[in-house]
């Protein structure tokens, strides 16, 4: 465990607030349905997909582009669900980064 003085020193040195994430665990679809029922899974499923999109963006070094695309989409389209915004933003970020465009849509 890191001492409080170390946290304060790092926060001062980098001029930002810091914290430690507490991992609460991860369940797959089957485990979540078994524990909370199908209705609870339907409520959290979009959140799990958003988390997966963010993880993919971080893994492929597209997080900054993802956030820019999310901002742009929110400025132009006000009545979209959160998951739709993230899906479109990830698609835009990957297209911009890799120069691949899907003409089918």
**What pLDDT is recorded for position 72?**
92
How many separate domains does the chain show? 1
H helix runs in 1-105, sequence order: 4-14, 29-59, 63-76, 82-98
Both ends of the chain: CA-CA distance in Å?
51
**What pLDDT is recorded for position 103?**
58
Regions in the chain scoring below 70 on pLDDT: 1-3, 7, 16-29, 32-33, 36-43, 101-105
**What pLDDT is recorded for position 66?**
92
**What pLDDT is recorded for position 69?**
92
CA-CA distance, 70 to 77, in Å (whole number)? Answer: 10
Is residue 65 in a domain? yes
**What pLDDT is recorded for position 1?**
52
Is residue 77 in a domain? yes
pTM for the full model?
0.58
Is residue 51 in a domain? yes
What range defines the domain where residue 80 resides? 4-98
Is residue 38 in a domain? yes
CA-CA distance, 10 to 32, in Å (whole number)? Answer: 38
**What pLDDT is recorded for position 89?**
94
């Amino acid at each position: 465990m890191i001492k409080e003085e170390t946290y304060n020193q790092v926060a001062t040195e980098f001029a930002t607030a810091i914290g430690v994430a507490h991992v609460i665990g991860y369940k797959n679809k089957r485990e979540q349905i078994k524990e909370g029922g199908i209705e609870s899974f339907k409520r959290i499923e979009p959140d799990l997909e958003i988390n997966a999109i963010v993880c993919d963006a971080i893994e492929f070094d597209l997080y900054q582009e993802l956030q820019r695309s999310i901002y742009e989409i929110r400025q132009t389209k006000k009545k979209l669900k959160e998951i739709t915004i993230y899906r479109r933003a990830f698609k835009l970020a990957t297209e911009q980064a890799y120069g691949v465009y899907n003409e089918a849509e």
